[in-house]
Amino acid sequence: MSLTLREVLRLDILRRGGAQVVAGAGGLDRTVRWVHVTELPDIAHLLTGGELLLTTGMGITNEVEMQRKYVTELAEAGVTGVVIELGRNFSSVPSALMQTAEEVDLPLIALERETRFVEITETVHREIINHQYDLLSHAEQVSRQLTELMLEGAGAAQIVSRLAGIFQNHVVLEDEAHQIVEVAGPESDSPSVLASWQEHSRTGHEEGAKGVVHFQDADPPCMWVGLWLRQNPWGRLHVLATHVRFEESTELLVDRAGVALSLSLLSDKDAAHMADRARGALVGEVIADRHGSGLDFLRRASNLGIELGDGPLIVVALEDRKLASMIDDQALTEEDRLHTRLVLADELRASAGMHNCAALVGLSGDRVFSVMSSARSQPLAAMAEAIVAVAAERTSHGDTAVTFVAGASSEVTADTIHRGIDEATTTLSYARHGGEGHAVSHFSDLGTYHLLMSLAQGPDLARFVENELRAILDHDARVKTKLLPTLRAYLLHTGRKSDVARELCIQRRTLYARLSKIETLLNRDLEKHDSRMRLTLALQGLEILRARRSTDVATMQSKTQS
C-alpha cells in the first residue's frame, strides 16, 4: 500500500513533536506523495495534490474569513493534510481552521512541541522513497518470473495462471472481439465471471492512450491494459478484484504483465510465421526438384512437425477462383494476393487437422500446395475432397470470402513427390476452367490432358499451340480488350451463345462481334466440330504450358532465395 498520513503520524519524529489530529480524521488514510514547507497564505494554486503541508502559521492571520479560505483552497488543491506547529503564531489551533477542516474533511494536525521541519521532510521522504523502491523491487521480481516463464517456452495460458496467483484475483485474457482466450483465478467465482463477461467487457472498456493501464469501477472492479502486436490491436488483459482489493502496486504489475503477454503472443506469432516459412521453403524445393531423396523429404517434413509416414501421398494445388480470373489483368496488388494465399493456407491446415490428416502446406506463386497423407483407411482422393470442402466452407462468409479451385494428383510416394507436384499443377490449370464450385479436380479426370502432358515434354505441344492460337495471342498482346477469354467461354459452353454472353456479362451483339473477329483472326469456322475440338486442345495445351511456366518461375525464385 501507499504511505498514508496515518502511517506518517506514527513516525518517531512526529510522535516526539506531540502530533495530534484536531480535525478531519476521516482523511487519514489518504496517500502522502510529498512534504512541503511553506508560510504563504495563498500557496494552494502552486500545489498539485497529495502534499503534506508543514507550517508554523506565520502567514495565517486571525481573520476568520481568511482562515476559512485558507483551508478550503488547500482542500480543493488536493492537499493530504496540514501540520501546524504551535507556539510561534498560535498557542492553539484556531476554531475557524478546525471547523472548516472538519467540514471539508482535510486532516489538520497540531504539533505541540517545536520540531525541525527539515527532519520531518527527510524522514517522510525517506519512507516514501523506500516504499517506492519496495514497489519497484516487487515489480522487477514479478517481471523476472514472467521472463523466466517466457524463456521456458510458457504459453499465454501458463502466464495468465501465474498472474492469477500473483494478483490473488481473476485474470482474463481476451481477444479484440471480446472473446475469452484464457482465464485463471479462484474456481469458486469462475462461473460467474464467465457468465457475465460480455456485459462486463463491452461496458466502459474503451481504449484511451496506447499501452496505458485503465481502471474500471465495475462490479467487480477491473484494471486492464490493451495488448498490441506490431502496431495492431490484439486484445486486452483484465485483472478483476474478485477476492483482493487493488493495491498501489497493481497498476504497475498490470503494465508489466501486459508487456510480458504481448511479447509471449508476439513470440508465438513469429514462431508460427517462421514455421510457415520453413514449410513453404520445403514445398518450394520439391517444386524445384531439389529436395533430395524421398527419405530426406520425409525426414525434413518430420522436423517441421509434419509426420507424413511411409504410405502413399497425394498433392493438392489450390488457388482462389477470383484471383485466378484476375491474375492476367494485374487487378490485384501483391498485398491482396498474399492475404488470399495466407487465408487458403491457414484454412487448409486447420481443415486437415480436423480430419486427422498430416498435411505439409506451403505457398508457391499465387498457389497453395499441400502434400497430404493419412493413416485412416479412407482413400486419399476422398480425403482431399473432404479437407478442401471444409476449408472452402470456413472461408465462404463475409467480404473476404475465398472460393477454392483445386487440383489433386494421383497417389504418389515420397520418391515420386515431384511428379505429384506436376500432376496437381496441371490438374489445377484444368480445374480453373473446367471445374465447378468447390469440387476437387483429380488427375484421373483430365482425359486428353494426359496426351497433352506427354507432348509438353518436348517442343510438339508448344508448336501445336502456336500454330492454332498465334493470331489471337498476338492480338491480345497488343490491345486492351482480350479475345482469348471469349474463345475459352465459347468452347466451354459448346457454342451456346446465350450462356457465353451471360458468363462474360456482355450483350449478344458484342459477343457476335467478338466471335466474328476470332474467326477472322484464326481463319476457322467456330460452328464446325473439328475447329472447336482443335481449339479446345490448343487452349488446354496453353494452360499446361502456362502452368509449367509458373512452376519454372517459382523454381527460379526458390533458387535465387537459396
Q: At what angle do helices 248-287 and 117-151 cross, to 10 degrees?
A: 30
Return the pLDDT at 327: 45
Ordered by start, the domain boundaries in the chain are 5-127, 153-270, 288-442, 460-561
Residue 484 CB: number of other CB atoms within 10 A? 16
- Please report where in the chains the cell 499451340 appears, as a residue: 465
Secondary structure letter of residue 79 according to DSSP: -
CA distance 111 to 100: 19
- What is the full per-residue pLDDT of the chain (562 aa) written as tens digits? 578 899 999 999 999 999 999 999 999 989 898 999 999 999 999 999 999 999 999 989 889 999 999 999 999 999 999 999 998 889 999 999 999 999 999 999 999 998 999 999 999 998 888 877 777 777 777 778 777 776 777 778 888 888 888 888 999 988 887 878 888 888 766 677 777 888 888 888 887 777 788 888 888 899 999 888 777 788 889 999 888 888 777 888 888 888 888 877 777 665 566 667 777 788 888 888 888 888 888 888 887 788 898 889 999 998 876 655 544 445 556 666 677 777 778 888 888 888 888 999 888 877 889 999 987 777 888 888 888 888 877 776 544 445 678 889 999 999 999 999 988 887 887 777 554 445 688 888 777 766 776 676 678 888 888 889 999 999 988 988 899 999 989 988 888 999 999 989 999 999 999 999 999 999 989 999 888 889 988 888 887 777 666 554 444 444 444 4
CA dist list (Å): 465 to 214, 252, 259, 433: 68, 71, 61, 17
Return the pLDDT at 194: 76
Secondary structure letter of residue 412 according to DSSP: B
Return the pLDDT at 329: 46
Question: Parallel, antiparallel, or unpaired for β 404-408 and 222-229?
Answer: unpaired
pTM of the model: 0.46
Correct CATH for 153-270 of 3.30.450.40, 3.40.1350.10, 3.20.110.10, 1.10.3720.10: 3.30.450.40
Residue 118 CB burial class (10 angstroms; 0-12, 13-18, ≥19): exposed
CA distance 373 to 358: 5
403, 125, 148: which is closest to 263 by C-alpha? 148
Residue 549 CB: number of other CB atoms within 10 A? 10
Fold of 5-127: 3.40.1390
For the domain made up of 288-442, the CATH class stated in words is: alpha beta
Q: Are 440 and 385 in contact (CB under 8 A)?
A: yes
Reply yes or no on domain 460-561 having CATH 1.10.10.2840: yes
Lateral strand order in the sheet of 180-184 = 180-184, 170-175, 232-240, 222-229, 213-216
Return the pLDDT at 133: 77
Question: Parallel, antiparallel, or unpaired for β 81-85 and 51-55?
Answer: parallel
460-561 and 288-442 share a CATH fold: no
CA dist list (Å): 8 to 20, 55, 80, 353: 12, 16, 11, 63
Question: Parallel, antiparallel, or unpaired for β 81-85 and 108-111?
Answer: parallel
Sequence-separated (6 or more) residues with CB below 8 Å from residue 375: 309, 311, 356
Q: Are 183 and 170 in contact (CB under 8 A)?
A: yes
Return the pLDDT at 547: 66
Residue 350 CB burial class (10 angstroms; 0-12, 13-18, ≥19): middle
